[in-house]
Structure 1
Amino acid sequence: MVFAVVFSCQTKHKQSPQIKSQAKVIDINTTTDSLVLFGEHVISTPLYERDLAISPQGNELIYTLGDYKQNKRCLVSLNFENGEWTDAQILNISGQYQDIEPFYSNNGNRLYFASNRPIYNDNTRTDYNIWYSDRIESAWSEPIALDSVINTKNDEFFPSLTTSGNLYFTATRADGIGREDIFVSEYLNGQYLAPKPLPEAINTPLFEFNAYISPDENLIIFSSFGRADGLGGGDLYISQKDKTGQWTASKNLGKLVNSTALDFCPFIDWKSRSFYFTSERLSLNNNKLEQIESLKQIANHPLNGFGNIYKISLDSIL
C-alpha cells in the first residue's frame, strides 16, 4: 500500500508534535517519489480541502476549504512572509457563495475560479460558472464572469489555462461525448471562441472532469469515473500530445496515486516538479470501538475520508 496510516481504536491516538514552524510543514520547494499528505494539520485537516493552486512566484497558496459535507465552501489563502506561512484566511471575494477550484494566470495577478454566485444580473441563477478576479495590492477585485460563450445555464467547472490563454474546463453539453466532458475554448484576439469537447482519447461516454492542462498545452491530467481500469470512486488519468499534436490514449496513473476513493483536482508546480491532487481516501481499521473518544479521534483526524491534498514528484508519474 503506497500510503497508509492506521487508526487504533484500542489505544489513544498520539497527536503530532507541536508545530514550531508552518514552513516545515508546508514545503513547496522539494518533492518526493512517495506519496505524502500535504501540510498535515495545517492545510490537510479534518475538514474538506481540495483544489490547490500555487502562485507562480511561490509565495501564496490558494485552495478550497469546506465543511465535512461541502455544504459551505470558500477560497482561502496562505502567504509566505518573513520566512513563514501565514494562517489561512478567507479571500476577500469569497465566503458568501460556493467558491471552488482556483487557478492562477501566468503572472499570478488574475485568479480564475468556479462559483454558484448570481450571474449576469440574474439572481435566480445558482449554477456554477467560471469567474475571474484581478489582484489589487493585497486584495482581489470584484469577480467578473466570463461571457456566455463559456458560461451557460448548466454548470461550468475547474478552469485551467495555457500560456496562450486557451481555457480548459468541465461541462455537460449537447455536443459533448459523455455525461460530463472536458472542453477547450481557444483564446483568439482577446476573445474566447466556442468551446469544443476534447477527442475520444480524453473524453468517453462516461465522466471526465477536473483537468489540469500544462502551460504549453502538451500534457493533461484529469479524472474519470466508470472506466474498466478504474480503481473505485474516480481515478486520475494522463495524456500527452504526440509528434503530430494529437492527444495519445489516456492512461490511468495507477496505484501510486489512485485509490478506491475519489482522486481528483490535479495541479502541477513546475518549479519543484511536484504533482498535487485531492483525495477522499480513508485510513481506518476494523477494530471494535470501546470508547466514544476513539470515534472522536477518527472523526477529528485528517484521514477521516473527507478531502485532503496530496503531493508526489511529477517525474514519478510520467
Structure 2
Amino acid sequence: MLQIADGNNVNCITMRKLIILLILTAAFNKAFAQTYPDARLPTNVPQLFTEGRLSDGLSNRDFTISPKGDEIFYTLQQPRFVTSTIIRLLKKNGRWGLPEVAPFSGKYRDLEAAFSPDGSTIYFSSDRPLIGSAIKKDFDIWRVKKSPNGKWGEPENLGNNVNSDKSEFYPSITRSGNLYFTAELADGKGSEDIVVCKPTGNSGYSKPEILPEDINTKYDEFNAFVDPGEQFIILTSDGRPDNLGRGDLYISHKDKAGNWLPVKHVPAPINSTAIDYCPFVTWDKKYLVFTSSRLNAGFNDGKTKNYSQLKQLLGSAGNGWDDIYWVKFDMNW
C-alpha cells in the first residue's frame, strides 16, 4: 500500500508539473502571438513571415514594425514595378488585423517604409509629385508624421538636400537623427551607394555623405538597415566575388573610434542563390526580417507534377516573386 501511495503521489506531482508547463506554454504562445502576427518562433533557418496572411504568393517586400509593436508596414508590388503600394497590419486590442492599404499610400508608387525610433514618423520612398508639379520620374524620400490622435498626416518631401534628380530609396533613421538611404550618385563608387544626411535643425538635413570604402564599392550597394544606435549596418550588395546570388546581405560594425569596419558576408542559409535584400532588425535585436525571391523546394524536388500541383506552387509563397522571411539575428555574423 505504501508503494502504491508513493506512486500515486509521484503521478500527482508529475501531473501538476505538466499542467503548469502547459499553462506557461499557452501564456508564452499567447504573448508571442500578440507581439507578432506570426506565432512561429524563428530559428537559425529563415522561414516565411506570417505565411498565408502576409506571405501569400504575391510580390511582398521590405518590412518595418513600430517601436510599440502595434503597426507593421510592408510593400505589395506588381513584379515588374508597375504598381507599388505600402500595406499596413494594425494591432487593436492585442489582435493583429488583416492587410490594408496604408493611409498615406495607394495612388502613387510607394515603397520601403521605415519608422523613426520614437515611432512618430514614417520615412518612405515614392515617385509622387511635389505639390503643383507634374508627376515625377524618379523616387524621393518622403516622411509622414503621426498626429496626437494617432492618425497619419499628409506626406512631405524631404527637400533638395536629401533628394536629387535621380532616385533615392530605402531610408533608415537613427536616434541621432541621421538619415541613411540608397542614392544614385553621379560621382558614386557604383551605380547605387549608401549615403547619410545629418540633421541641421528645423527638420532639415545636410547634403548626402557617401559611406566609406568597403561599404560602398564599384559594385552596387543598396537597401541598408542601420541600427538605431548606429553600431552596425546591414546592406545588400550585388556583384561581389563572394555573392551567392543576385544580391546578398552583408554586415558591418563600428569600432571603438566610431569607424565602420570591413563588411562580413552573412552566411547561408540566410543568403541564397536568389536576391536577398531589404533587411530589418527588430527593436529588441532578436530577429532579422528580410526579403528574398528564393524558390520553394517543391520546384526542384525531381518529381512530376500535375496541373493542380503546379498551380498551387505558382500561386503560393516561394514562387520566385518577393517574399518576406525572418530568422534569428546574430550580432556575430
What TM-score do the two structures reach when normalised by structure 2?
0.84
Cα distance, 1:169 vs. partner? 0.5
Residue 75 of structure 1 aligns with an amino acid whose one-letter code is I
Question: How far apart, in 2, do the equivalents of 1:317 and 1:73 lie?
Answer: 34
Could you tell me which residue of structure 1 aligns to residue 5 of structure 2? none
Could you tell me which residue of structure 1 aligns to residue 309 of structure 2? 294
Could you tell me which residue of structure 2 aligns to residue 145 of structure 1? 157
What TM-score do the two structures reach when normalised by structure 1?
0.88
Could you tell me which residue of structure 2 aligns to residue 15 of structure 1? none
Cα distance, 1:166 vs. partner? 0.4
Structure 1 position 278 matched with structure 2 position 303: no
Question: How far apart, in 2, do the equivalents of 1:199 and 1:298 lie?
Answer: 43
Question: How far apart, in 1, do the equivalents of 2:154 and 2:135 lie?
Answer: 20
Residues 210, 264 of structure 1: 8 Å contact kept: yes
Residue 164 of structure 1 aligns with an amino acid whose one-letter code is S
Q: Which of the residues 68, 83, 87 maps onto 1:72?
A: 83
Could you tell me which residue of structure 2 aligns to residue 246 of structure 1? 259
Could you tell me which residue of structure 1 aligns to residue 281 of structure 2? 268
Structure 1 position 185 matched with structure 2 position 200: no
Could you tell me which residue of structure 1 aligns to residue 134 of structure 2? 123
Structure 1 position 306 matched with structure 2 position 321: yes
Residues 34, 312 of structure 1: 8 Å contact kept: yes
| 1:290–1:194 CA distance, 2 compared to 1 (3 A) | closer
Question: Which is helix-richer, 1 or 2?
Answer: 2
Q: Which runs of 5+ in 2 are unaligned?
A: 1-32
Could you tell me which residue of structure 2 aligns to residue 60 of structure 1? 71
Number of residue pairs matched? 298
Cα distance, 1:178 vs. partner? 1.3
What are the equivalent positions in structure 2 for 1:11-26 lying under 5 Å apart?
26=37
SS in 1 for 2:300: coil
Residues 74, 94 of structure 1: 8 Å contact kept: yes
Residues 124, 142 of structure 2: 8 Å contact kept: yes
SS in 2 for 1:233: coil
- Which structure is larger by alpha-carbon Rg, 1 or 2? 2
Residues 259, 281 of structure 1: 8 Å contact kept: yes
Cα distance, 1:277 vs. partner? 0.5
Structure 1 position 97 matched with structure 2 position 112: no
Residues 253, 317 of structure 1: 8 Å contact kept: no
Question: How far apart, in 2, do the equivalents of 1:199 and 1:107 lie?
Answer: 28
Question: How far apart, in 1, do the equivalents of 2:258 and 2:77 lie?
Answer: 39
Cα distance, 1:258 vs. partner? 0.3
| 1:124–1:67 CA distance, 2 compared to 1 (3 A) | closer
Cα distance, 1:124 vs. partner? 4.1
Cα distance, 1:79 vs. partner? 1.4
